Amino acid sequence: MDDTLQRLGDDQQLFYQVLRWFAADLPNTLAGIETCLVSGDAHKTREAVHKLKGSAANAGATGLHAMVVEAEQLCKANELAKVKTRMVSVRQEINQIIALIEQLDD
Protein backbone atom coordinates (compact mmCIF):
# COMPACT_ATOMS: atom_id res chain seq x y z
CA MET A 1 0.00 0.00 0.00
CA ASP A 2 3.00 2.28 0.37
CA ASP A 3 3.27 2.50 -3.43
CA THR A 4 -0.35 3.64 -3.65
CA LEU A 5 0.22 6.28 -1.00
CA GLN A 6 3.28 7.53 -2.90
CA ARG A 7 1.30 7.65 -6.18
CA LEU A 8 -1.18 9.87 -4.35
CA GLY A 9 1.53 12.33 -3.36
CA ASP A 10 1.72 10.97 0.18
CA ASP A 11 -1.72 12.48 0.81
CA GLN A 12 -2.98 10.20 3.57
CA GLN A 13 -6.52 11.65 3.53
CA LEU A 14 -6.84 10.98 -0.20
CA PHE A 15 -5.36 7.52 0.30
CA TYR A 16 -7.96 6.71 2.97
CA GLN A 17 -10.71 7.97 0.66
CA VAL A 18 -9.47 5.74 -2.16
CA LEU A 19 -9.46 2.80 0.24
CA ARG A 20 -13.02 3.60 1.36
CA TRP A 21 -14.20 3.74 -2.28
CA PHE A 22 -12.42 0.46 -2.94
CA ALA A 23 -14.06 -1.20 0.08
CA ALA A 24 -17.49 0.17 -0.83
CA ASP A 25 -17.24 -1.30 -4.33
CA LEU A 26 -15.92 -4.73 -3.31
CA PRO A 27 -19.29 -6.36 -2.45
CA ASN A 28 -20.78 -5.32 -5.82
CA THR A 29 -17.71 -6.45 -7.70
CA LEU A 30 -17.73 -9.80 -5.91
CA ALA A 31 -21.45 -10.24 -6.61
CA GLY A 32 -20.82 -9.52 -10.29
CA ILE A 33 -18.12 -12.18 -10.45
CA GLU A 34 -20.36 -14.70 -8.72
CA THR A 35 -23.22 -13.94 -11.14
CA CYS A 36 -20.91 -14.51 -14.09
CA LEU A 37 -19.67 -17.76 -12.58
CA VAL A 38 -23.23 -19.01 -12.13
CA SER A 39 -23.97 -18.20 -15.77
CA GLY A 40 -20.95 -20.27 -16.81
CA ASP A 41 -19.62 -17.54 -19.11
CA ALA A 42 -15.82 -17.68 -18.87
CA HIS A 43 -15.34 -14.49 -20.91
CA LYS A 44 -17.67 -12.36 -18.76
CA THR A 45 -16.22 -13.91 -15.61
CA ARG A 46 -12.72 -12.99 -16.79
CA GLU A 47 -13.84 -9.42 -17.46
CA ALA A 48 -15.34 -9.13 -13.97
CA VAL A 49 -12.24 -10.67 -12.38
CA HIS A 50 -10.04 -8.34 -14.43
CA LYS A 51 -11.94 -5.34 -13.01
CA LEU A 52 -11.26 -6.59 -9.49
CA LYS A 53 -7.61 -7.13 -10.36
CA GLY A 54 -7.26 -3.51 -11.45
CA SER A 55 -9.07 -2.19 -8.41
CA ALA A 56 -6.89 -4.27 -6.09
CA ALA A 57 -3.74 -3.01 -7.80
CA ASN A 58 -4.89 0.62 -7.60
CA ALA A 59 -5.68 0.27 -3.90
CA GLY A 60 -2.39 -1.47 -3.16
CA ALA A 61 -4.10 -4.68 -2.02
CA THR A 62 -1.23 -6.88 -3.17
CA GLY A 63 -2.45 -10.11 -1.59
CA LEU A 64 -5.87 -9.80 -3.19
CA HIS A 65 -4.28 -8.78 -6.47
CA ALA A 66 -2.14 -11.94 -6.55
CA MET A 67 -5.19 -14.12 -5.86
CA VAL A 68 -7.17 -12.45 -8.61
CA VAL A 69 -4.33 -12.76 -11.13
CA GLU A 70 -4.54 -16.50 -10.62
CA ALA A 71 -8.33 -16.46 -10.97
CA GLU A 72 -8.05 -14.48 -14.21
CA GLN A 73 -5.62 -17.02 -15.63
CA LEU A 74 -8.04 -19.80 -14.71
CA CYS A 75 -10.82 -17.93 -16.54
CA LYS A 76 -8.64 -17.67 -19.64
CA ALA A 77 -8.14 -21.44 -19.46
CA ASN A 78 -11.93 -21.89 -19.09
CA GLU A 79 -11.44 -23.53 -15.68
CA LEU A 80 -14.52 -22.04 -14.04
CA ALA A 81 -14.80 -24.82 -11.44
CA LYS A 82 -11.31 -23.88 -10.24
CA VAL A 83 -12.24 -20.20 -10.29
CA LYS A 84 -15.23 -20.97 -8.04
CA THR A 85 -12.91 -22.75 -5.62
CA ARG A 86 -10.41 -19.88 -5.73
CA MET A 87 -13.17 -17.36 -5.04
CA VAL A 88 -13.61 -18.80 -1.53
CA SER A 89 -10.16 -17.44 -0.62
CA VAL A 90 -10.80 -14.23 -2.54
CA ARG A 91 -14.04 -13.68 -0.62
CA GLN A 92 -12.23 -14.22 2.69
CA GLU A 93 -9.50 -11.77 1.69
CA ILE A 94 -12.11 -9.21 0.66
CA ASN A 95 -13.88 -9.54 4.01
CA GLN A 96 -10.58 -8.95 5.82
CA ILE A 97 -9.79 -5.93 3.65
CA ILE A 98 -13.21 -4.41 4.26
CA ALA A 99 -12.83 -4.93 8.02
CA LEU A 100 -9.41 -3.26 8.01
CA ILE A 101 -10.60 -0.31 5.96
CA GLU A 102 -13.65 0.14 8.20
CA GLN A 103 -11.25 0.52 11.13
CA LEU A 104 -9.86 3.66 9.46
CA ASP A 105 -13.05 5.46 10.43
CA ASP A 106 -12.72 4.50 14.11
What pLDDT sits at residue 104?
80
More confident residue, 11 or 83: 83
Q: Return the CATH superfamily for domain 2-105.
A: HPT domain (1.20.120.160)
Q: Which residues contact 87 (CB under 8 A, 6 or more apart)?
A: 33, 34, 37, 71
Q: Does the structure show a pLDDT above 90 at 65?
A: yes
Q: Indicate the average pLDDT of the chain.
A: 91
What pLDDT sits at residue 106?
61
Question: Which residue from 50, 55, 59, 52 is spatially nearest to 7, judged by alpha carbons?
Answer: 59
Q: What is the pTM of this model?
A: 0.87
